[in-house]
Amino acid sequence: MPLHVVVGYSSLTGPRERNEDYCGIATPEGAELENKGVIAAVADGIGGHKGGREAAEYTVRGLLSDYFSTPDTWGVPRAIETVTTALNRWVIAEGSRNAELSGMATTLSALVLRGRRYYTAHIGDSRIYRLSDGRLQQLTVDHTWEHPELNNVLSRAIGLDPRVLMDFSDGELVGHDRFLLVSDGVWGVLPDVLIGEVLLDHPEPQGAAAALSSLALAHGGHDNATAVVVDVLGLPPPGLRDSLESAASLPLPHRLKVGHELDGLIVEEILHDSRETLLYRVRNPRNDQQLVLKTLQPAMEGDQSAGAALLMEEWRARRVVSPFFPQVVPDDGRSCLYYLMTWHSGATLQARLDAGQHFPVGDAVRLGVALLKAIGALHRLDIVHRDIKTDNVHLGQDGVLRVLDLGVAVSLAELKPGDPIGQAGTPSYMAPELFEDPAPQPGHDLYAAGVTLYHLLTRKYPYGEIEPFQTPKFGEPVRPTRWRPEIPGWLENILLKAVAREAKDRFETAEEFLLALERGAARPIAPPPRQPLAQRNPLMFWKVVAAASIGLNVVLLLILLR
């Protein structure tokens, strides 16, 4: 059963001639409801002659429209923050261009109900309340100045400052929760006790919203009164918030051999056989299409965490719509737990190296450009791959580079405080800080991309090969020209920056790394500064200091003995 809500709203104009409040609600269906949820918002415009209303309406309309255009892999806070940042720029720009709208700004309180959780986003002095088990709780804090003479003056609002500082919160939904979004024209007149009584006395959300707004004006309110009431009538089942939930109960397929058939698919080759996963190349006889089937080892039967991980991998892969990745193929009804991807003939970069293929500098740079475009596409979806390496970069016979294996990737938006992460990646490709803190960061993929290009050119690693369970010590990376003197200086500088020991010395984004490669010798980057000996090799530094000290003392002693 999907999330089921019922909403009601009312916005009444007070003694003022113009209603500068604006509210809106979006209740999608199907996959959009599962991936994005229901969103409701209230804005109370402030400022110029008519700019307040314009700011409020544009902000709410823009939020309700653009929120659904953000990637499904983004968390609610990031999606709303990205949208409101753009809306804030528009409000400021519009107010500066048009004298009539000068000073336009608006409050904004937004509520998102997705799956079995609620999320709030808030700036200004409109409010969000939650009525649960008969108890009314205010979920937002008013952004007004604390000085007694300024307690009605906003300290934060859309259009007030170039930088938007939204407050975010979230929590678990409970059946029959009721949420209320109101402008200060309601809560500024009606005490919380009375608001709670009205919500309890009116079972229908439309009746409750209308009663609150009309009651506020009847009690002498001089402002516009807006109320939005959202009732939660049904919650979706716990688990994955996507259409793959039903697959969680499917059994694992038995171990397949070449020639075996599964759901009409013929196994043609076993591509990968690891401790946990199996990959087969299969053929669909109906259209003669070759595909990759990924599943778990039969011994993993009953391992719910492994099954959930495979489903999440499919969920992420479905959303990475890019030519730089194999694409998930919809199934016509599967009897077992697996998913299908497009098959591309060719080989990984490591397989090509193992076969003796030599990569000229120009080819390596072109592959690096494609790899960084792929990583950039992932990062824009808030996904960190966590295992970029030559074994996971495939070069097809069609000349297209594709990044493989999202098995240990994480959607940063899906992570919650306290979630176990675990170390992932291949030691020789792991950034130095990962050996102390496994928390995933996009920059770790960029470091691994630098090692990948370094290895592609030299067949070596910048800090030497690191074995599993080894605790490595990182000094200065070996310059790639030590292994291949023909590597140009501009490319060496890029590689050394990409694999620098300190994260602050590396590229910050995939786009920055990509730009450096594309500019090449035309606009070379500066060589990375060499670390002082005291940082590079503290033991050697103190040995040198001690030797110098002893030498100086000997010289002084000889002088004194003359």
Reply yes or no on whether the pLDDT at 149 is more than 60: no
Average pLDDT on 484-510 reads 95
pLDDT above 50 for 341:
yes
pLDDT at 245 over 50: no
pLDDT at position 38: 97
- What H or E segment, with its residue span, contains residue 550? helix 538-561
Q: What percent of the chain has pLDDT over 90?
A: 67
**Measured at the alpha carbon of residue 243, what is the angle toward residues 240 and 247, in degrees to the nearest 5?**
75
Q: How distant is the alpha carbon of residue 121 from its chain centre?
A: 17
pLDDT the model gives residue 475: 85
Tell me, rounded to whole angstroms, the distance of Cα 298 from its chain centroid. 32
Average pLDDT over all residues of the chain: 89
What is the C-alpha separation between 108 and 184, in angstroms, rounded? 12
Total Cβ atoms within 10 A of residue 1: 7
Residue 240: pLDDT over 60:
no
What are the CA-CA distances from residue 53 to residues 50, 91, 171, 409, 556 (Å)?
A: 6, 11, 31, 44, 84
Q: Is the pLDDT of residue 407 over 60?
A: yes
Considering only CA atoms, give the Rg of the chain: 30
What's the mean pLDDT in 63-74? Answer: 91
User: According to the model, what pLDDT value does residue 45 have?
Assistant: 92
Q: pLDDT at residue 464 above 50?
A: yes
Task: Quote the pLDDT of residue 1.
Answer: 73
C-alpha span between 446 and 376 (Å, rounded) = 9
Please report which helix (H) or strand (E) contains residue 291, including its range. Answer: strand 289-296
Q: Over 60: is that where the pLDDT of 421 sits? A: yes
% pLDDT > 70, the chain: 92
How is residue 467 written in tokens? Answer: 């074995």
Q: What is the mean pLDDT of residues 114-138?
A: 95
Q: Which residues are paired to 129 by β-bridges?
A: 138, 180
Q: Which CATH number fits domain 4-234: 3.40.1110.10, 1.20.1270.360, 2.30.110.10, 3.60.40.10?
A: 3.60.40.10
Is the pLDDT confidence value at 279 over 70? yes
Q: What is the mean pLDDT of the segment spanning 134-140?
A: 95
- CATH ID of 347-531, from 1.10.150.120, 1.25.40.10, 1.10.510.10, 1.10.10.10: 1.10.510.10
Q: Predicted confidence band at 531 (pLDDT cuts at 50, 70, 90)?
A: low
Confidence band of 556 (pLDDT split at 50, 70, 90): confident
Structure pTM? Answer: 0.70
Q: Cite the beta strand spans of 333-461 per DSSP E.
A: 338-342, 346-348, 383-384, 393-396, 401-403, 410-411
Mean pLDDT confidence for 37-58: 87
What confidence tier does 31 reach under pLDDT thresholds 50, 70, 90?
Answer: confident
**Per-residue confidence at 241, pLDDT binned at 50, 70, 90?**
very low
> How far lies 57's CA from each of 19, 53, 81, 91, 479, in Å?
11, 6, 18, 11, 57
Architecture of domain 245-342: 2-Layer Sandwich (3.30)
Average of per-residue pLDDT across 182-191: 95
Question: What integer pLDDT is reported at residue 243 of this predicted model?
Answer: 46
Highest mean pLDDT among 40-49, 153-162, 302-311, 352-361: 352-361
